[in-house]
């Protein structure tokens, strides 16, 4: 079966594992040539071998503009240009503002939001030249935040609005911009949080509808690949999150705050105790990414 992605070059950040790695597999199966960008060179090289010939990989921290520019130049040299960018790289800090250092909070926003902005800036001339497409990865956290997710939610709603403005800026150039809102996807990052924080597991069980639903990484990546083919404007995984997005203003009322506040009296102190007991401000995979970035500086 022919695909609109056949022969297209797709650059994916955060491609070493999780949604990024599985999306790479899905678009490669549709005939795309993939540039794998991330901070785990061994995993990137292994994935490139798995995908077969015609792909490339580059070690890169998305908060490092020079590294991004090297990855873009390498992609152009190896694959001829860039048609699609999936700005997927992201981390999540554990816990509240009270128990996380300002460095952890700022790093989350730096990777998740500033990293997306830097990725777009580094690739824009190549994508514009091919009248290509961006898929920027936001989150269900942009629809409604939860205790312990202040920096993460801020970064993801920032991605959403950055993407909305970018779409208008690039429309006359024939460049498409989509924003993806995945919910809880069964990735290493989410599993780390569930393992570290029993209160998070309890909260998941109580969340209504799609906010409490866990989705496989395979289903998420398939939705990403289809959105790329269609140059989709908005993507929600699971799809029922679209309803919640439409009701977003109701989720931000004082009545909704009151309902969350009832449980927060118990949830927040428990969450803070658990974060302090773990002794890490990030899950195992996210903290590893932070440490790699620090060591590279």
Question: Catalytic amino acids?
Answer: 152
As a whole number of angstroms, the longest Cα–Cα distance in the chain is: 56
- Report d(CA 199, CA 266) in Å as an integer: 10
Query: What six digits make up the tokens of 236?
Result: 């929600």
CB-CB neighbours of 41 under 10 Å: 15
- Report d(CA 18, CA 94) in Å as an integer: 19
Residues 8/33, Cβ–Cβ less than 8 Å: yes
Query: What six digits make up the tokens of 88?
Result: 């997927």
Comparing CA positions, the residue from 247, 274, 249 lying closest to residue 148 is 274
Burial 222-244 (b: 16+ CB within 10 A, else e): bbbbebbbebbebbbbbeebbeb
């Amino acid at each position: 079966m022919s695909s609109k992605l056949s022969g297209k070059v797709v650059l994916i950040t955060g491609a070493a594992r999780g949604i990024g790695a599985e999306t790479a597999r899905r678009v490669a199966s549709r005939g795309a040539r993939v540039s794998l960008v991330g901070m785990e060179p061994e995993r990137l090289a292994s994935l490139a071998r798995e995908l077969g010939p015609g792909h490339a990989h580059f070690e890169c921290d998305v908060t490092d503009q020079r590294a991004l520019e090297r990855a873009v130049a390498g992609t152009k040299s190896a694959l001829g240009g860039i048609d699609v960018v999936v700005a997927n790289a992201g981390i999540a800090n554990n816990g509240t503002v009270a128990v996380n250092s300002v460095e952890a909070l700022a790093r989350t926003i730096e990777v998740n939001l500033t990293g997306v902005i830097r990725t777009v800036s580094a690739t824009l001339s190549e994508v514009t030249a091919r009248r290509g497409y961006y898929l920027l990865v936001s989150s269900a956290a942009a629809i409604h935040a939860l205790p312990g997710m202040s920096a993460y939610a801020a970064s993801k709603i920032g991605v959403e609005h950055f993407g909305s403005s970018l779409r208008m800026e690039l429309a006359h150039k024939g460049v498409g911009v989509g924003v993806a809102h995945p919910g809880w996807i069964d990735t290493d990052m989410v599993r780390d949080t569930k393992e570290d924080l029993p209160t998070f597991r309890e909260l998941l069980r109580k969340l209504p509808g799609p906010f409490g639903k866990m989705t496989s990484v395979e289903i998420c990546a398939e939705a990403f690949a289809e959105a790329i083919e269609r140059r989709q404007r908005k993507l929600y995984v699971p799809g029922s999150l679209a309803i919640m997005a439409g009701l977003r203003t109701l989720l931000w009322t004082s009545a909704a705050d009151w309902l969350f506040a009832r449980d927060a009296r118990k949830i927040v102190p428990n969450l803070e105790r658990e974060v302090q007991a773990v002794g890490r401000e990030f899950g195992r995979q996210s903290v590893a990414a932070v440490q790699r970035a620090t060591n590279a500086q």
